[in-house]
Structure 1
Amino acid sequence: MALLTAIDDDIRVVRMPALETVQPTAKALLQPISVDDLLNRFPRTLTQHSQAEMAALIEGKSVLVTGAGGSIGGELVRQIAAFSPASILLLDNNEYALWSISLDLSERYSDLRQHQILADIQKRSSLEHVFDEFRPQLIFHAAALKHVPLVEESPCEGILTNSIGTRYLAECARDYGAEALVFISTDKAVYPSSVMGASKRCAEMYVQRLDRQARAGRGGLRCVSVRFGNVLGSTGSVVPLFQRQLARGGPLTVTHPDMTRYFMTIPEAVGLVLQAAQRGTTQNRSEGDESELEQRLRSGSIFVLDMGEPVRIMDLARQMIRLAGLRPERDIAIRITGVREGEKLTETLFYKGESPLKTDTEGLWIVTPEVPEDEAFMVLLDRLEQACHDGHIRQALALLEEAVPDFVSKRPLGAEEAPL
């Protein structure tokens, strides 16, 4: 205590760790890694023109964000709040995550009216209560179960959240007069190899079907789907895992030396999601514009974010080690653990027949997906919902395969499984 009181206030004092706990990699803690350094390019930011368009979309409106406590949902909340909505509804089923984003929002925008809603999108009645009470005009749907191996272990939960929960939310939005719903999709929905990807693809198909119906009737709920790959630093992603492993002295674990992924920063991805929302909910920018872009926008295309070039996970691990001031394989080992259930070595952002087209917004593409028009798809969804609620895993996966023909479950379906 005498030392602390004797030194000048300008001198920084730190506590030295116990010598028996010091590791050779402790110096990594003195060199924090910037996520932007891992991108190998400059992240995109909103232009002044784009900001004005965002303000026109959001200002004075009631906005609901599902999954508000997550990485994408939380950044959506922060960026939306900057455009002066009348109110913002934060919905999440994680109590602590909901409290955290609410506190953050209060500190940044103390005058903004917000409501914290602890709810699960698997429960239609809860969503109906939210829409009946608050009547949101814009909905940004980020709630999802995204961890591929975990969803493989609990497929019914993944389907109920990602597919059926999305259907509940979209139908509530439609029935209660919302203007637009923005659905956050994933590159794992393209030629899906996992339940997570297939359940998101199923939701994509439903949302686009609903959007085309609204556009054909020239009214009703507009649905905007936005598809993109991994975001750097999101909860449960590889970067926080590597940071945790670095802090513990390694090794860093990579599933396969040739595995690649598309990456983008969280603020960059959310900024483009907001631009897609604006572009997907407005009419022609100029009267009489019959360009291919405008025609495809009117047909209810899916937006796809330009993710740049895919990155090898092995290279990412080596780069993080070097940014920490250490040497790969000498100071920190890298261990190959094997590809996990449902994972692919490479991801793709487009189906072959989707004909990607650049929009007039930098970083945004649109594709025209195949969308089921007949009622057989809706019957499948009803049966899928019931099978999942009953815990019949085998039946649920068979129905998911039928709804998403590109998907083949890797889970053995030879014997009936007991309901969960």
Structure 2
Amino acid sequence: MLRLIRRSQVAFAHDVIMAAVSFPLALYLRVGNALPYFVPQNMVLATLGFAVLAGGIFWLFGLYRGIWRYASLNDLSRIARAVTLAIAILFAVLFLTTRLDWLPRSAPIIQWFLLMALLGGPRLLYRVVKDRSVSRAMARDGESRIPILLIGAGDESEAFIRETRRSALAPFEVVGIVGLTEGRVGRNMHGVKVFDTVDNLEATLDKLEKVRQDHRPRKLVLTGNALRHPDIGKWVEIADRRGLVLSRLPKLGDLRDGIADPLQIRPVAIEDLLGRPEARLDREKVRHMIAGRRVLVTGAGGSIGSELVRQIASYGPARICLFDAGEYNLYEIDMEMSEKHPDLPRYSVLGDVRDRVRLDQVFAIEKPDIVFHAAAYKHVPLVEHNPNEGILTNTIGTRNVAEACRAADVETMVLISTDKAVNPANVMGASKRLAECYCQALETLSDEERGKTRFVTVRFGNVLGSTGSVVPLFRRQLEAGGPLTVTHEGITRYFMTIAEAVELVLQAAEMGRQGMTAGGKIFVLDMGRPVKIVDLARQMILLAGLRPETDVKIKVTGLRPGEKLYEELFHDSEPPELTATDGVLLAAPRVLDYVLIKSVLAQLAESAQARNSERTLELVSQLVPEFQPPEISVSSILAEQQAEIASRPIDA
């Protein structure tokens, strides 16, 4: 601290001296040998007065909060403003006191340029000297620095190269760049050449190896838009084949916000392999929707529900209600909220969406303005073997929540749906399609019939890292040494991150409140292109530093009951419509009559509660003709009923 104070004092003294020198020197440059004929008293008073005045203004403008070593255009701009003000005040005072009878009118202009040079020049020279010394230090330490090749020739690359040149302690040396386009090929960035486009990545690597062996890159580092390039999976394999490590730089926004080190290189995460750009959202509109309102989230302890709670809490709701049937999951998210948002009023409720009485009680107490319905059974094989439970939670539970919203005059209900609801091949998908149908039917009613509530449905695919998804399964299998199990070599799925999915849900909710889902339209999140699960398994093995089929096997186990080779986001009769928000599309409605679906769902609730699987599936297929119910034997029905009886509590 003392050292910093001394340096700022030295810099201040330097600038005051330069200010004092600038006045007589400007006069000399203007009048030359005629300077001795000026009145000495005027010269001395003006020089001393300007030195004091300039010193005060320089300090006021914060010229000494910066570091000369990192002098920049911002510092130069600050100096220019301070010098302009100081000279303007000096000559205004001289005009008022002496009418400038003894001073040439061009003197202030000459003094301005002169003082800018006297203040800015030493700063620039100091930085140049320091940079050269750093370059020499880097040259001495070059052998210990890791040579890397950057993929992407954008702002992130420039910032990273600048920092490596600036810091003698930087552990990396950038030996080349490959661009995503041809725009900057052949040009230099701080002396580092952009060799080629990424399409010729391997040829560039060969070229660098031939130039100098010590220039052979040991890391490939992704920057900027390279993190969302569709060929990122191919780069993983190239890196593995050549014995290189694939890494990534922080996003430029993280650098600007000060939450990342410019020299930090991170491992490539599985989320980076989606191969599509992130959706750009209007968070201010979402904030306007959430701030000051009462929000209720069902399934608040689940993967999607808990992320919804986190993001909603950050927008400043008046109150939030966490509703979940799972005690431990609810406890975890409740504890997280108490630590991160202790001042946010909240109410954590143990309850089941199957229980309409419990829902009505909670809605009467909480009086929510917005309800996000994320509670659902989503594991396809389990729901396939327990169809009545899936229907009771996913379909009847949604009906219960929707009717509770109508009764409590909730402004907006948002249903979280799934791509498995399109041409469903399993009970889980069919149960979610029925949930969609019910909310769509309500949305088609007149304002008088529907009440105050708008019903918004958002459909998307698999979420990376959610409970029961393939990525956590692969991670567990990797930790156990393999094999990684894939049900079919050709199976594909749509993927997005949990945070991105929830952001888009919130954006869709805000758009739905404006009436965009009128007539029963459904929001569908753009998931990019589908990913082959076997490729995902192979890339996860490579990112773990292992070799597929050599270190870790990939085993094909066969499709599970109700599993499809590929999922769809739109039905053939649901042509997608663009919206003003990137990543959010609208599906044209396939709407059922509200009276019809209400009647059939009442029958469905009875058959599911009676655990009559055959009748349950028959009713489902009536409303969802694409769904073909599996053959159910009498023995399986009896076994299910016996299991249900055995699970009931015995009265004491």
Scaled by the length of structure 2, what TM-score is found?
A: 0.56
Q: Alignment RMSD, CA only?
A: 1.7
**Could you say if the C-alpha distance between residues 33 and 70 of structure 1 is closer, same or farther in structure 2, counting changes exceeding 3 Å?**
farther
Structure 1 window deviating more from structure 2 (74-83 vs 408-417): it is: 408-417
C-alpha contact (below 8 Å) 1:229/1:261 kept by paired residues: yes
SS at match of 2:349: strand
| Other-structure match for 2:591 | 371
| Other-structure match for 1:242 | 474
Q: Which of residues 318, 338, 343 in structure 1 aligns to 2:538?
A: 318
Q: Does 1:274 align with 2:506?
A: yes
Q: Which of residues 622, 630, 641 in structure 2 aligns to 1:402?
A: 622
SS at match of 1:80: helix
What one-letter code is carried by the residue in structure 1 that aligns with 2:273?
A: L
Matches within 5 A, 1:284-303: 297-303=517-523
The offset of 1:414, in angstroms, is 6.6
| Other-structure match for 2:378 | 146
- 1:328-352 deviation per Cα after TM superposition (whole angstroms, max 9, x unaligned): 0001000000000000000000010
C-alpha contact (below 8 Å) 1:214/1:220 kept by paired residues: no
SS at match of 1:85: coil
C-alpha contact (below 8 Å) 2:290/2:316 kept by paired residues: yes
What one-letter code is carried by the residue in structure 2 that aligns with 1:163?
A: T
C-alpha contact (below 8 Å) 1:64/1:136 kept by paired residues: yes
Matches within 5 A, 1:189-204: 189-204=421-436
Matches within 5 A, 1:163-312: 163-215=395-447, 220-283=452-515, 297-312=517-532
Q: How many residues align?
A: 375
User: Using CA pairs below 8 Å that are at least 6 residues apart, which structure has the higher relative contact order?
Assistant: 1
User: Aligned residues: percent identity?
Assistant: 52
C-alpha contact (below 8 Å) 1:36/1:43 kept by paired residues: no
- Identify unmatched segments of 5+ residues in structure 1: 1-30, 284-293
| Other-structure match for 1:12 | none
- 1:157-192 deviation per Cα after TM superposition (whole angstroms, max 9, x unaligned): 000000000000100010011101000000000000
CA distance in 2, matches of 1:268, 1:35: 14
| Other-structure match for 1:40 | 275
SS at match of 1:407: coil
- 1:180-216 deviation per Cα after TM superposition (whole angstroms, max 9, x unaligned): 1000000000000000000000000001111111557
| Other-structure match for 2:293 | 61
What one-letter code is carried by the residue in structure 2 that aligns with 1:393?
A: S
Q: Does 1:137 align with 2:372?
A: no
SS at match of 2:413: strand
SS at match of 1:338: coil
The offset of 1:103, in angstroms, is 1.1
The offset of 1:403, in angstroms, is 1.7
Larger radius of gyration: 2
**Could you say if the C-alpha distance between residues 215 and 35 of structure 1 is closer, same or farther in structure 2, counting changes exceeding 3 Å?**
farther
Structure 1 window deviating more from structure 2 (308-317 vs 34-43): it is: 34-43
The offset of 1:129, in angstroms, is 0.9
The offset of 1:377, in angstroms, is 2.2
**Could you say if the C-alpha distance between residues 200 and 63 of structure 1 is closer, same or farther in structure 2, counting changes exceeding 3 Å?**
same
SS at match of 2:347: strand
What one-letter code is carried by the residue in structure 1 that aligns with 2:457?
A: S
Q: Which has the higher helix share?
A: 2
What one-letter code is carried by the residue in structure 2 that aligns with 1:251?
A: P
C-alpha contact (below 8 Å) 2:354/2:397 kept by paired residues: yes
CA distance in 2, matches of 1:214, 1:185: 24
**Could you say if the C-alpha distance between residues 139 and 38 of structure 1 is closer, same or farther in structure 2, counting changes exceeding 3 Å?**
same
Q: Which of residues 564, 571, 576 in structure 2 aligns to 1:344?
A: 564
SS at match of 1:276: helix
The offset of 1:41, in angstroms, is 3.3
Structure 1 window deviating more from structure 2 (389-398 vs 258-267): it is: 389-398
What one-letter code is carried by the residue in structure 2 that aligns with 1:98?
A: L
Q: Which of residues 308, 313, 319 in structure 2 aligns to 1:81?
A: 313
CA distance in 1, matches of 2:431, 2:343: 38
The offset of 1:92, in angstroms, is 0.7
CA distance in 1, matches of 2:450, 2:429: 31
C-alpha contact (below 8 Å) 2:417/2:459 kept by paired residues: yes
C-alpha contact (below 8 Å) 1:182/1:277 kept by paired residues: yes
Q: Does 1:121 align with 2:317?
A: no
Q: Does 1:104 align with 2:336?
A: yes
Structure 1 window deviating more from structure 2 (313-322 vs 389-398): it is: 389-398
The offset of 1:416, in angstroms, is 8.5
What one-letter code is carried by the residue in structure 1 that aligns with 2:290?
A: I
CA distance in 2, matches of 1:105, 1:265: 21
Scaled by the length of structure 1, what TM-score is found?
A: 0.86
C-alpha contact (below 8 Å) 2:443/2:450 kept by paired residues: no
The offset of 1:38, in angstroms, is 3.0
| Other-structure match for 1:388 | 608
| Other-structure match for 2:324 | 92
| Other-structure match for 2:184 | none
- Identify unmatched segments of 5+ residues in structure 2: 1-265, 645-652
C-alpha contact (below 8 Å) 2:494/2:531 kept by paired residues: yes
